[in-house]
Amino acid sequence: MARVALTWLAEPGNRIVWQLVQAHGAEETLDRLIGGDIPEASLRAAVASRSSSGDPRRVAEYALRRAQRLGARVVVPSDDEWPTGVQSLATLELDVGGRISRDVRPPLCLWVRGSRPLGDAFERSVAVVGARAATPYGLHVTADIAYGLAEQEWTVVSGGAFGIDAAAHRATLAAGGFTVAVLACGVDRPYPVGNAALFEQIAESGLLMSEWPPGAEPLRHRFLIRNRVIAAATAGTVVAEAAARSGAVQTMSRVVALNRRAMVVPGPVTSAMSVGCHELLRRYPQARLVTGVAHVLDEVGRIGEYLAEPARGGDHVRDGLDEESALVLEAVPRRGIAGPEQLAARAGLGLRTVLRRLSLLEIKGLVVRRDGGIALAALARTPVARTDTPPRTRFPA
Amino acid sequence: MARVALTWLAEPGNRIVWQLVQAHGAEETLDRLIGGDIPEASLRAAVASRSSSGDPRRVAEYALRRAQRLGARVVVPSDDEWPTGVQSLATLELDVGGRISRDVRPPLCLWVRGSRPLGDAFERSVAVVGARAATPYGLHVTADIAYGLAEQEWTVVSGGAFGIDAAAHRATLAAGGFTVAVLACGVDRPYPVGNAALFEQIAESGLLMSEWPPGAEPLRHRFLIRNRVIAAATAGTVVAEAAARSGAVQTMSRVVALNRRAMVVPGPVTSAMSVGCHELLRRYPQARLVTGVAHVLDEVGRIGEYLAEPARGGDHVRDGLDEESALVLEAVPRRGIAGPEQLAARAGLGLRTVLRRLSLLEIKGLVVRRDGGIALAALARTPVARTDTPPRTRFPA
């Protein structure tokens, strides 16, 4: 109850409130704040102003009753299910300065709808976030990544916004996976209302979570405060699309400062909704370019557990050949035969090397001995054929 | 003549030939090679095989006569116009091992069509390269970058292939800029033939350049050898599009090893022609993501001469506000008025801070004093209005 009241008196993340709670406990801190014993002027003024509109304890009791009717619970750090990741916010120091950047301390409590314990839900979790005004491209990539994460039994975490957030939740639900929506308003308050049905689905098979009590408004600055919880509670954050100067930069600065995996999906340079992504990749050396779920799993998975396969071109017969063998194979005429000396001259290699490489090529079934010379085997013929536009896969301009 | 003959006896870049020329001069090296005095077996065999098909000196004389008829010239390191950048290849050591990787020594000579001196042409030059099977997206971005480089009087350098290479040349010509095509065959030999008209245009207003004499065939391995010249002669290389496992990786490894600027254009993760680009960005920390010519100029230009402007979102009235002022502005009701105490409570800030910030907001014309309270000014109203989907530009989910 004291933690609920404190969250009402000062917005979550407040550094001074958090320090007082650490030093004296929530009950005593609440007494101090209500008594006006506050070591900072701006907090003192904010608390006084808030107190003048109601009794903090009664507000908290009302919120708890409302939550009970709703089937929501409040979770505090001493609970078994408290997600340990958010505690990293206790020591987070951001370089950027300014009031908000200092006020990134851990939540005092979390309101939850959904049955799974928080800690369990966040243990293997990745945030997938991005623009509201997402493009079909961004929605497609988001759905692919979220679906793939769900298939590998990773929890997908996002906000509740239109666009990328909603796409991430929907794809996770479609995969039968587990999704968490971290809201900047009460868990009983569908915001945006267009996502109301989605929130109900998430509450049933996933989790709705918020630092603010039921009924709380989605004030603009609360999104900023909320974002730190998404960054801290998960193993990493994927930004799927972001406009120029979007909040993705703020999110990523925290992800990086928290030593979580910062992942960014690139897009067409002609798309306004990828400008922010490209800015992130240019600004943060720690941000990793990811093009799909394999790369994401590669970042957040235990080393070796998920190893993204290198991108592959067509399976040309030359693949896997060393450079010398490739040169020799290239030197073999398309039609007819050639002697080893001719091949050596054409390939610019020594005769001994050519003979050694020919043995290898023969074993691989790429060349055959015929009429006292060397000819291309049928297997090697098509891709080796020199045309106006030789395949560029190995030797491109 | 000796350098021409040597380039015929062994492919350009050969480490041993280059070392001999450095130690004994081209004439004596040619004598040695013809005499079979060669310190490596594979080179000895290659030279013997090549010599058996003709006299190197006569081949060289024929090539020089052919060039003269064509209006082409041969340039050697002692010429004033020799491009100094290629000399960096003298000490290039690549980690990858294997014969080709060691044979990256500077050209012995360069065949040129076009009047401008080579050194002058390459002094401010950027390579723009990429896939033959380019997409409309890649062609568009390439044209934008090449056109912009030409406008800033940078030389655009590329190969002669279809796709990105041709698009780079065409856009440069369209901008009235200067373009160099570095070929893997004779400068008299349109390859691919579909680009013949383009090559003629380049020869007239730019430069066609090759290490191989007129008439030389575009053998596949020559593209690989040629690429080192593009990497070394320019200030940096932009890869606009590249398929998975494309030669762009080889090119970039050299660009990076040569300490030139490695630049890569991202694209849709759903495009096969951007897979190679994304692999480069993942593989090489030195590779810089570029989304347009401003970023390219930022990399290759003298520091401060070109400074890429940060990407900008819409010009919201809040832009430039500090966080506290933004919070106060957010707290002002959409309709009607509020007192400073109400604003302080709503914004979670101290009264003194709110009063200070209100003065600032008033000066900026964002709030007005009315009826003993604070109201939004018309200027601030539209973007400040809280809707179902508040603009995410500054405070996104």
Complex ipTM value: 0.74
Measuring CA to CA, which residue among B56, B50, B44 is closest to residue B6? B56
pLDDT attached to residue B317: 56
Residue A345: CB atoms within 10 A of its CB come to 24
Taking the Cβ of residue A23 and every Cβ of chain B, the question of whether any pair is shorter than 8 Å is answered with no
Burial class (CB in 10 A: 0-12, 13-18, 19+), A317: middle
- For chain A, the three-class secondary structure string (H helix, E strand, C coil) is CHHHHHHHHCCCCCHHHHHHHHHHCHHHHHHHHHHCCCCCHHHHHHHHHHHCCCCHHHHHHHHHHHHHHHCCEEECCCCCCCCHHHHHHHCCCCCCCCHHHHCCCCCCCEEEECCCCHHHHHHCEEEEECCCCCCHHHHHHHHHHHHHHHHCCCEEEECCCCCHHHHHHHHHHHCCCCEEEEECCCCCCCCCHHHHHHHHHHHHHCEEEECCCCCCCCCHHHHHHHHHHHHHHCCEEEECCCCCCCCHHHHHHHHHHCCCEEEECCCCCCCHHHHHHHHHHHHCCCCEECCCHHHHHHHHCCCCCCCCCCCCCCCCCCCCCCHHHHHHHHHCCCCCCECHHHHHHHHCCCHHHHHHHHHHHHHCCCEEEECCEEEECHHHHHHHCCCCCCCCCCCCC
Measuring CA to CA, which residue among A4, A38, A47 is closest to residue A19? A38
pLDDT attached to residue B381: 57
Residues of chain B with Cβ-Cβ distance to A281 below 8 Å are 266, 281, 289
pLDDT above 90 coverage of chain A, percent: 66
Residues of chain B numbered 215-274 and touching chain A (CB < 8 Å)? 219-221, 223-224, 226-227, 242-248, 265-270, 274
Distance from CA of B117 to the nearest CA of A (A): 24
B386 vs A301: CA distance, rounded Å:
39
Span A120-136, pLDDT tens digits: 999 999 999 999 999 99
pLDDT attached to residue A390: 36
Could you tell me which residue, A390 or A140, shows the higher pLDDT? A140
pLDDT attached to residue A5: 96
B15 vs B21: CA distance, rounded Å:
10
B269 → chain A, closest CA residue: A291
Q: Six-digit token pair at B228?
A: 């080192």
Interface test with A, best of B185, B220, B245, B384 (most A CBs within 10 A): B220
Amino acid of residue B36? G
CATH 1.10.10.10: which residues of chain A? 323-384
Amino acid of residue B133? A
List, in order, residues 6 or more apart from B375 with CB less than 8 Å away. Answer: B332, B333, B336, B337, B367, B368, B369
Taking the Cβ of residue A69 and every Cβ of chain B, the question of whether any pair is shorter than 8 Å is answered with no
pLDDT attached to residue A311: 52
Note whether B393 contacts A245, CB cutoff 8 Å.
yes
Taking the Cβ of residue B194 and every Cβ of chain A, the question of whether any pair is shorter than 8 Å is answered with yes
Taking the Cβ of residue A372 and every Cβ of chain B, the question of whether any pair is shorter than 8 Å is answered with no
CATH 3.40.50.450: which residues of chain B? 71-300
A316 → chain B, closest CA residue: B245
pLDDT attached to residue A262: 97
Amino acid of residue A390? P
Per-residue pLDDT of chain B (397 residues; tens, 9 = 90+): 999 999 999 999 999 999 999 999 999 999 999 999 898 898 999 999 999 989 999 999 999 999 999 999 999 999 999 999 999 999 887 655 444 467 899 999 999 999 999 999 999 999 999 999 999 999 999 999 999 999 999 999 999 999 999 999 999 999 999 999 999 999 998 899 999 999 999 999 999 999 999 999 999 889 989 999 999 999 999 999 999 988 888 889 899 999 999 999 999 999 999 999 999 999 999 999 999 999 999 999 853 344 455 454 444 556 667 778 888 888 888 778 888 888 888 887 888 888 888 888 887 778 888 888 888 887 665 433 333 333 333 333 2
Select the residue of B131, B265, B331 nearest A269 (Cβ to Cβ).
B265
Q: Which CATH class is domain A323-384?
A: mainly alpha
Q: Six-digit token pair at A278?
A: 């490209």
Domain A71-300, classified CATH 3.30.750.80, yes or no: no
- Which region among A54-58, A205-209, A234-238, B311-315 has the lowest average model confidence (pLDDT)? B311-315
Taking the Cβ of residue B363 and every Cβ of chain A, the question of whether any pair is shorter than 8 Å is answered with no
- Please count the residue pairs, one from chain A and one from chain B, whose beta carbons lie less than 8 angstroms apart: 279
Distance from CA of B70 to the nearest CA of A (A): 23
B329 vs B343: CA distance, rounded Å:
9
Note whether B99 contacts A324, CB cutoff 8 Å.
yes
Asked, as a colleague might, if the bond just before A192 is cis with ω within 30 of 0, I would say: yes
Taking the Cβ of residue A355 and every Cβ of chain B, the question of whether any pair is shorter than 8 Å is answered with no
To 10 degrees, the CA torsion angle through B92, B97, B98, B103?
0
pLDDT attached to residue B83: 97
Summarize the confidence of residues A104-110 as an average pLDDT. 96
B286 vs A48: CA distance, rounded Å:
53
pLDDT attached to residue A164: 97
Burial class (CB in 10 A: 0-12, 13-18, 19+), B243: buried
In angstroms, what CA-CA distances link A159 with A101, A114, A127, A181, A223? 20, 16, 9, 5, 9
Q: Six-digit token pair at A158?
A: 């996002």
A374 vs A371: CA distance, rounded Å:
8
CA A13 to chain centre: 22
B31 vs B47: CA distance, rounded Å:
12
Asked, as a colleague might, if the bond just before A77 is cis with ω within 30 of 0, I would say: no
- Rg (Cα) of chain B, in Å, rounded? 30
Measuring CA to CA, which residue among A372, A361, A362 is closest to residue A336? A372
Q: Contact B330/A221 with Cβ under 8 angstroms?
A: yes
Burial class (CB in 10 A: 0-12, 13-18, 19+), B310: exposed
Phi, psi values for residue A23, rounded to 5°: -80, -35
Measuring CA to CA, which residue among A126, A89, A123, A154 is closest to residue A238? A126
Note whether A275 contacts B291, CB cutoff 8 Å.
yes
Interface test with B, best of A8, A42, A254 (most B CBs within 10 A): A42
Distance from CA of A285 to the nearest CA of B (A): 8
Q: Six-digit token pair at A363?
A: 């074993």
Burial readout B185-213 (b: 16 or more C-beta within 10 A, e: otherwise): bbbbbbbbeebeebbebbbeebbbbbbbb
Mean pLDDT of chain A: 87
In angstroms, what CA-CA distances link A2 with A59, A74, A76, A97, A110? 11, 12, 11, 29, 13
Residues of chain A numbered 70-109 and touching chain B (CB < 8 Å)? 98-101
Interface test with A, best of B7, B53, B229, B269 (most A CBs within 10 A): B269
Residues of chain B with Cβ-Cβ distance to A395 below 8 Å are 220-221, 223-224, 247
Q: Is B155 helix (H, G, I), strand (E, B) or coil?
A: strand
